Structure 1
């Protein structure tokens, strides 16, 4: 015996799982069986004849009838000496009892479910004892009503049909006295030993439960206007219930219905009326409470699974629910507009009619057009996960539901709208964004969709003009429209909804909050000096970007990101600066805040170390090129390889050219001379910013400047030395020279800088990017990178990519890859467009101007 008990204990989890699956199978089977007995067309006809207030009252009666059964669970939890949260008790009790009503099996299903939901934290033997005490009183109320019904049959006059069921009423009536006697006589732990208060509460609960069932049936019949004598219907109802329970048929389906149809027909009630009566009773007492119970069941089951599997099922369910919601909303909107635009198509094509539940359920073009396009724009708000779309979505669905109920009842539409409502409510947590940013991706999709639907409507109008050749119309007959007047009403709807779309988008956008903050030079400098930076850190002082500063748990500002926002893209320039240990938390916080406000970060020209970190956050990447590094420790002009470089250096020294390092602050005369060199180098080209420095006195005053001077002590070339806030790496930014400077001046400047940095202990020099270098060279590379490879090889018309790499390769001892990472919710095409705009916009404030590709590439890489 002990071995058997141990075997069950080891497999208790599996047994519970099998039980839950079995219950689900039974319930689904019974619902399918009940569905076969229900004619939805008949229900639709009934609903159209009965006043709406009566239907609401029937629904209230059916729901109220479930409430007394809460008493079983209150007594059970008190017996188990455990406190349960009222909300949990309400949900689980409703779920257990409504499922038991459908599944049946003499209350055994309810016992199994109560063990699962209330017995987890309690000893198994104690749970079995408590449940056995509940089980024997489940039918006490039915037994009491059986005795009452027997008296009604006996004392109410001769009724041969009812008298034949007296034996069943006597049998059912004996159950309660026998159970009551057993619980009083026996003292065992399973049936006896029940406190008098608990015994009375269980009896009262069972009596109220069956009172609710009986009253539901009688009141629904009364609201239908059926004339009957309760003293005759009650015995019939109770006898049918006893037979159904004894047979243990789930939901008493079949035997109960047959008895009621035959019995009520014998009482003079038309059979068709009885069927409708039973139909409404099953709907309001069984099905609707059960559907509510299913919602509670799924919620509690998902909570258990969610807890067991670390929250993954919940996240998955919410995501799937949100996706289904968006698909259904867009599908509904498109179908409504199409049914209003080409109504004849839904008559001629059977498959199209079957696909569309909305066909012919909207009375005029005007509300159809308004409703269809409204659903589409609401769908955009829901797809963008904007919290402001929640209330309008619910309001629109409820308005549509009411319109359908009052104007043209359709079960398919009601089911679809109910699903939409459930999905909206269940997706509330997914609608977390505080504002709507209308991205290019969204505009493209919506623009095409709205344009196609509106254009189709306009074409239909032209096609139906009296002047249009009639002999053409037979080819596309489903384009025919009922009348010009109806078409014109739809056109007014389109014009009206266009105005509404602009208003609604503006509502979703809110206050157009931007993340980050303008440059605060003191805070940025303090962070960089305390925690270090990189070769891109100094670009923040160009003041053409926003900064985002992360503070650790101690409140210290440790990480700096610099970025620029265009459309919904927050383009972050380079790696974060500051304490590398805080980079993961800083990036996660930045992505979270950007997502909260509807933005998508793009990380531009970042190092390999950031690729794996951002990949965990769902980011894809594309290699942008390689960065040339010069090993200064081993750098030397000796050897055959450096013969040309030695010649350059000797020539410039012989011709009395001089290299010098100027330190700030610079005199106005020096700035003016540097500006003259810069302007001559630029010519007609515009300064660029973001990833490159531009000539700004405020910016140049922050760092040393390496210059080359001629024999007259005039500056002919210069490069500002960018602080990297690290002792290992050095680099430059602006690198400009006069047109009449001797050839090789930049080689002289570079080599002089290398030697100076080497003498100051710098380990390597960063010469900057060679764009598209070694990108897409493998056949297995991403398609985006393969396209970039073609640009690299055949793009010399626009820009000498290969020439730039060849020049930097003269000095480079190592090439380090650089990547751009973007969210999977972004289109790579629009990401690249945003990068081109931001990285090539002139610094004169005309940031929104899109330049030609040739000009962009020509001016792109200036270092």
Structure 2
């Protein structure tokens, strides 16, 4: 009996493990499906709540809004965005960095204009901040902390305001959630009490531990200031909608509570811009008091004023900055640096909005007077064709919006062509002057910023990622709900599909929706069926000769790893620079920054990213410096700290004084032990290769290790004989060696392969490094590269990114897996300057997967990693 119980428990644990594995592997897909289900449920709720409302009533209510209300709403929109800029100001103050307020305000305003409108990953406010602040000199970890601070500040402030609001308007929200109002209020009190306890515990900026969870919160003064900013922002944005409502609908305090709950639920839903969720809460709460038709009309106008108008203003400002070529004054210069790469993202967001506009206009009726006018001049087949094609152009504009965000030249040309065609079709199908005007605005923006879209790439090779496909699904669901709402009084029949008349609006909308749905489905299937990852061949022959020539003419000594011949090479279009890379699983991993002149980096970086994506892989850059971070940010990638590189200034190397005492003792000890240092020229190395091989084999056997690759050299005669080798002899026998990596500029020297036999005395490697640095100094070299200390220098400060906290924890407690602290301690003996090194990849789970792939590529697979 006991055995049966144990077997049952084992099977139950196995089933739970399988479910957890399934959920972990498919988390992104399940999240996307969940988002679509949420929008579908709230769309159904809106359709039910508007059962007695007709489309014409909504249009009439929208037209009845007074100009004074609109002007007041615009004023409070400006106040809301002014308050939003202080999130970034406070965040910069918290991470102890100072930037000019105009640049900060511009960045914050653009970030919120994009985030409020698009609301999903590829066009989020975080991407805006990363591109802008990286150009203003902030490090990736500082930008990550800034984004974390802003997100946490808004989240906590919204949670407090929402919970306070639930205490006031719980009965309005209860029907939407299915939870009793008393329970909602109880939950709100519980959350408020928890936040209060945490705030008190962290009043001096201390850590708060809840089990294994560690929260690093700002001090109580900073929290209070940020809560005030959130309250001002919510009050101003709520007033935007409030002044548009019919007078006497509800009191402002009660409306603020309803608005805060609607915003909170919209954020929790993860639906782009809270579309549908926000509207459902407002309609359910105010529909009876003001009339559902009036509330719907006001919500449309609110979206235009609070979401679309700031986006248009941001685009005008950014294009104005580009055209005026601001320079000279520090504030003006910082504005141009901050705004130089935000314009494509803003235009891409506008393209998304206009794509939605074209799709929705296809499923909504044309005003009767416009149809009557067109009937006199335009044949019916042309109107029908224009209506259908305009909807498909909306789908096409959505697809090329991603290319605009990536600054593809093909996307620019496609967007210009789509905008021109859509302007013409908008006039032909419905004399839609407003629609045509918006498209013309996009066209002007594209023409004015032409120089920013300079990346040659195949537009058809850019498969839409899952967040973009989710947004595409949201657009299709939204169009379906609007179609049902507008033509709810039209009885469906198969004959509708074949009715072609000037007054047959419902059939026209059905055909447009069908075309968009079929097109969207085709795009989704094509994007999900990614091409198989193609194999990449290592470089050889003339490619190697060209690469070695480039290496010898630049300063980075580590670039000599290209001589191993185990990496593929991609040259820039002009042949002045190259990237060396390898592939593991679905990662194309570039080693170091591009090798060659810095002005050749941007195009080469994008060339590599485009090639990786066209092969269905992610682009990864491993061990890159801070010099190129702005170029990676421009390409939509993010940097994650890997560790620190140790560099010794050979010009100031004098082994005198107290701090060099231990190293001097090691040198003296090596001399007493009979160690003899010398450097062997490449031409003389073949004669000693057997001895070097014996030392290498003994070292591998002693450490139970195997040869590595990619970012480390291996014992290969062709590689070792390419450059000098430093050796240590004892009693006439070689007991240790290291191959020297140098370039023709004599700027930097380094070593790669370091091996010593068990017969070498203790401290032999300290002796070798000290002697080698003295040798390189005498030869006129300026720096000595000691290599990277992994996970060194991870941030310990409050609100450090999760990546840094995890890396720091592994650095502190992972000695059983790797000698992190010992390696840094060895390099610290030489008193180097520490330079950060990064892994660069797109966001989400990609950095973790990329780091795993890089580890396997270096180790030669899982077996190699486990065996050291």
Q: What TM-score, normalized to structure 2? A: 0.45
Structure possessing the higher relative contact order (Cα contacts under 8 Å, 6 or more residues apart): 2
Is the radius of gyration larger for structure 1 or structure 2?
1
Q: What TM-score, normalized to structure 1? A: 0.45
